Amino acid sequence: MTARAFLRDRLPAILIRAFAHLLTVIFLLAFRIPHQALAAAILLPLCGAVPAELWEYRRRKRFYDRLKNNAEGLERKYLLSETLPDPDFAEGRILKETLRDAGKSMAEEAAECRRDADAFREYIELWVHEIKLPLAAMRLLCYNGGCGRCGEQMNRMDDCVENVLFYARSGSPEKDYVIGPVSLKRVFSDAAQRHREELQSRGVSIRTEGLDTAVYTDAKWLAWILGQLMSNSMKYFSPEKDREPQIIVSAEELPDRTVLRFRDNGIGIPARDLPYIFEKSFTGQNGRARPGSTGMGLYVAKKLCARLGHGMEAESEEGKYTEIRLLFGKSGYTAPLSAENAPRDPNLSEM
C-alpha cells in the first residue's frame, strides 16, 4: 500500500473535512476575530487530523503489506487467511474472515473433486481389469478359430485399453508402482512381443545392443513406455521404398546413470516442433499430416517417467532419425544428458 493510494482513498473524507473547515473559517471571519486566533483556528485542527491519518495509514499499511507479501510467497494462495495476524481494525477482520470462509469452501470443493477423480480412476482400473477377461477369451477364440485378422484387431483393442489405464495412472498422486531391479532385455522383449504383429507387418527390423543390464524401475510401466515409442516409430516411418524401417535400441552405462537410446530411421521431427513434443495434445507437422496422432503418447510417457524419477529427452534430424533417450539414475536425480539437445522448457523458449 503506497501513501498515494491511501491518500486517494481518503480524498473524499479529507475534502469534506476541508470544506467544513472552510465554513468554520468563513464563520469566524464574519465575527471579525483577531488574526492570531484565526490562524490558531485554522492550524490547530490539523494537529489532530494529520497524526490521525498517519496512524491510520501505518496500521493499514502494515496489514495489507503483510497480506500481499504472504500471498506472493505462498504457493497455495487459498491458505492465505491462515498466515495473517488478527488485524486491529474492523475492515481487516471482515476481510480475514471472508478469506477464511472462501478458502474453506474452496478446500471442500477441491477435496470433493479429488474424491471424484480418485473414484473415477479406481473405477477405470477396475473396468480395465474387467474388460481384460472378455479380451482374453476373445483372443483365445480367435486363435483357436484360426482367425488371424480378428487377432490383430484384438491386439489393437488391448493396446487402447492399456493406454486408458496408463493415462489414468499418469495423473494420479498415488504410488501404484513397484520399483525394483528390472532387466532391460526382458522388458524390451515384452514390449516387442506385444507389438510383434504390427512390427512384422511393416517389416521393421530391430537391433538391440547392450541390453544385458538392469535398471531400477517398474517393469510394466517401462514396457508400456517402450511400447508407445514403438508405435510412434511405426507411425512415422519413411514412405520411401528403399529405406528399410529400422529400430535400434541400445543401452549405455555411465558412472551415474544408465541411458537407454531408442532410435528409428523414420521421417524425424522438424526442429521447431521438437521442443513441444512432450506437451499434451501436441501433434505438430508430422501429426497433422497423418491420421491416428493424438498427441497423448509422449505426454503420458514423459509424465510416467517423471513419476518414476527417470529423465526423458528427444533428439531428431528431419528426414533422418528420431532418438528418444530414457535416463535411469543410479541415485535419484537425473539431469539431462546434454543441455543443448535437451528439449527446452517451452515456457522459457517463448521468452
Which residues in this chain contact other proteins in the complex, by CB under 8 A? 125, 128-129, 132-141, 143-144, 148, 154, 158, 165, 176-178, 180, 185, 189, 192-193, 196, 199-200, 203-208, 211, 218-220
* Distance, CA of 287 to CA of 308 (rounded, Å): 27
β-strands 205-209, 246-253: how paired? parallel
- For residue 274, what is the DSSP state? G
How near is the Cβ of 166 to other proteins at its closest, in Å? Answer: 9
For other proteins, give the closer residue by CB, 44 or 133: 133
User: If we measure between CA atoms, which residue out of 95, 87, 98 comes closest to residue 62?
Assistant: 87
Q: What is the three-state SS of 182-224?
A: EEHHHHHHHHHHHCHHHHHHCCCEEEEECCCCEEEECHHHHHH
Q: Say if CB 257 and CB 330 are below 8 A apart.
A: yes
3 state DSSP class of 264: strand
By beta-carbon proximity to other proteins, the closer residue of 99 and 192 is 192
Distance of CA 234 to the CA centre of its chain: 28
CB of 120 to other proteins, least distance (A): 16
Choice between 11 and 136, CB closer to other proteins: 136
| Residue 145 buriedness (CB in 10 A; 0-12 / 13-18 / 19+) | exposed
Minimum distance, C-beta of residue 162 to other proteins, in the bound complex (Å): 8
| Cβ nearer to other proteins, comparing 89 with 123 | 123
Q: Among residues 136 and 289, whose Cβ is nearest to other proteins?
A: 136
* Residue whose CB is less far from other proteins, 159 or 279: 159
